[in-house]
Amino acid sequence: MTISKGDEIPSTSFATMTDHGPETISSDDFFKGKTVAIFSVPGAFTPTCSAKHLPGFIEKAGDLKAKGVDAIACTAVNDAFVMGAWGKQAGAGDAVTMLADGNGDFAKAVGLTMDGSKFGMGTRGQRFSMLVKDGVVEQLNVEEPGDFKVSSAEHLLGQL
């Protein structure tokens, strides 16, 4: 079942790249007591994700934070090494936390997976954005396959 507005984020875990290597963080800890703008991309270093999606959130980070967002996070079904390298290459810095969903546990738990087998990618997370307040979904924007409209930083900013 797909997550909806008003639902709690399910308990899963992510990995983040640190100076000491990958570290695990629970979704419960990441979302607790904060307003988080989180967006999912089908894959790190893929065309739309690298040219538009991640750069848009980096560019609008200050505007989102000015509207009450405490943290911005990008997730993809990639490992922490790939997500860390992509974040570094894109200049995410402290603006966007790169959350690796290596086994797709988060994407499955929120019911937003896609079959990328046709492209050699296997099961991935769909392209979407969410605004989550203290672990509860306030906004959910899921793209139609191949689209990039409602999951953008600009769209989410307009919902605040």
Q: What is the pLDDT of residues 114-127, one digit of tens each?
A: 888 888 777 888 99
- Asked about 74 being catalytic, the answer comes back as no
pLDDT score recorded for residue 122: 72
What are the tokens at 114? 């896609």
Q: Name the active-site residue from 44, 49, 64, 112.
A: 49
Output the average pLDDT for the chain: 93
Least confident of 97-101, 138-142, 148-152: 148-152
14-59 tens-digit pLDDT? 999 999 999 999 999 999 999 999 999 998 888 777 778 999 999 9
pLDDT score recorded for residue 1: 74
What are the tokens at 10? 């399910």
What are the tokens at 6? 């008003």
pLDDT score recorded for residue 5: 96
CA 51/CA 77 separation, integer angstroms? 18
CA 160/CA 157 separation, integer angstroms? 5
Q: What are phi and psi of 100, to 5 degrees?
A: -80, 130
Residues facing residue 140 across a β-bridge? 130
pLDDT score recorded for residue 72: 98
Residue 128 has pLDDT above 90, yes or no: yes
Domains of the chain are: 13-158 (3.40.30.10)
Residue in the structure block whose two tokens are 């008003």: 6
